Amino acid sequence: MTGDPIRRALDDVWYCVGESRTLRPGAMRAVSLGEEAVVVGREESGALFALRDRCPHRGMALSAGRLVDGNLVCPFHGWQFRPDGACAAIPALARRDDANFASVRLARFAVAERSGLIWVHAAANPLAASPASSDPGAAPPIPEVDFQYCGQLVEILEVEASFDLVALSFVDPAHVAYVHDSWWWRPSKTMKEKVKHFAPSPFGFTMTSHTAKTASLAYRLLGSIPEVEIEFRLPGVRLERITAGEKRLANYTFASPLANGRTALINAMYWNIPALNLLKPVARPLMRQFLGQDRDVLQIAQRGLDRKPAMVLMGESDVQSQWYFSLKREFLRAREAGAAFVNPLEPRELRWRS
C-alpha cells in the first residue's frame, strides 16, 4: 500500500475478505489487501491460514495450486509449504543437492473468523496481531454481532474507486436523497432538516441511539418504530444497530482495499427474527440494488477525483467526512510515535437536510 498515507488504506488493521461459509475445508482462495496478494485457506481441521500468495521459487501464485496432506503445493514445480508458511518439500532436489530449504518461509498473516466473516490483518508484523485485545492503543477490533442471530445476508461488490471515497460514503448523509431514492427505502420525497447527536467512541464516533421518526419499509418489517444507533470506526467500518423491543437487526458495512486502486464494498445483515428468513430471496436483490447505486456513483466520482483529487467539504453534512480524515491522521501519528491512539473528537450535535 503506497502513496499519501492520508489518502490510502491503513496497514495495521483488520480487513474483511469474505464469508466463512464460502471457504470449505481443504479449499484456498486468492484475496487482496491493497497490492498485497494473499492466499487464505482452510485446513481439514477447520483452522484458517493466510500466507503471501507468491512462491519464492519463481513467483507462482500458490492459490492456483492445491492442498495435499495439509500442505500447499505450488502448481509450477511442486514446492510444498505448511500452513505456518515453512517450506516442507522441494521435489526436484537431488540427493547430492547441498540445499537447505529450512530457511525458506512465506510471510504469514493473522486471520480470524467473526460473525460468519473472514478477516485478515494487514500488519507489517502480522503475527503480532490479536483478534481481541484489551490494549486501548491496539488496532480497531474486529466487528462482532452482539446478539444471537438466526439469519444472515452478505453481499460483496467490487468498486472501481479508492478506499477513502468508499469509506466516506459510510458517513455521508447528504447523498442518500439522491443516490438511494427508492420506493422501499425513502418513502418520503421531502427534504427535511435532521438533528443528530454524536459522541466519540474507540477508533471512531457514534450517532447516539435515537428513534427513527420516518421508518423505511425495511424498518417497518420489525413491527414498530425502532431505536437506531450507528457507529463508524477505522479503517472503514459502519455498524448500524436496530432494536425494536426484543427484535434486533444489525446492518454492518465494510470497505476493504483491493489491487489497482479498487475497493471491496461489503454489506452484512443479521437478525434474530425467524420470519425474516422467508424474505431473503427478496432482500438479496434489494441489497444488491442498494449497494449497486453506491458503486455506480462512486465510480463516476472517482474519475473526477482522478482528474483533480481535491475535495471541498462544506457544512455540517460534511463534518463526519472531516472526522474520518482526523481519525486517520491521529492513528498514523500514534503509530509513528509508538503511542496509544487517542481519539481527537468531542461530542457534537450536527444538522443537515436530507
Residues 33 and 158 in one domain: no
**Do residue 330 and residue 218 come from a single domain?**
yes
Q: Is residue 288 one of the residues assigned to a domain?
A: yes
What is the share, in percent, of the chain residues with pLDDT greater than 70? 88
Q: Strand pairing partners for 67?
A: 72
Q: What is the CATH number of the domain that holds 78?
A: 2.102.10.10
Inform me whether the pLDDT recorded for 92 exceeds 80: yes
Span of 99-103, 134-138, 227-231, 250-254 with lowest mean pLDDT: 134-138
Q: 164 and 70: one domain?
A: no
Residue 41 lies in a domain: yes
195 within a domain of the structure (yes/no)? yes
| pLDDT band of 179, cuts 50, 70, 90 | confident
Higher local confidence (pLDDT), 32 or 135: 32
Euclidean distance between CA atoms 12 and 139, whole angstroms: 7
* Whether residue 342 is found in the same domain as residue 205: yes
Average pLDDT across the chain, whole number: 88
CATH number at residue 272: 3.90.380.10
- The region of weakest confidence among 159-168, 178-187, 228-237 is 178-187
Number of domains observed in the structure of the chain: 2
Residues 114-134 have pLDDT tens digits of 999 999 998 755 544 555 544
Given strand 247-257, what is the order of strands in its sheet?
151-159, 263-271, 247-257, 237-244, 227-233, 204-211, 193-201, 348-353
By residue range, what is the domain housing residue 94? 5-122
Q: How far is CA 345 from CA 76, 87, 208, 320, in A?
A: 52, 47, 14, 10
CA distance 131 to 120: 10
pTM of the model: 0.91
Residues sharing a CB contact under 8 Å with residue 276, sequence separation 6 or more, in sequence order: 151, 221, 249, 283
- Structural domain contains residue 252: yes
Q: Do 258 and 198 sit in the same domain of this protein?
A: yes
- In tens, the pLDDT along 248-258 reads 999 999 999 99
Is 140 within the bounds of a domain?
A: no
Check the CA dihedral 347-348-349-354 and report its sign: negative
Cell of 305: 477525483
**CA dihedral defined by 20, 24, 25, 31, rounded to 10 degrees?**
-70
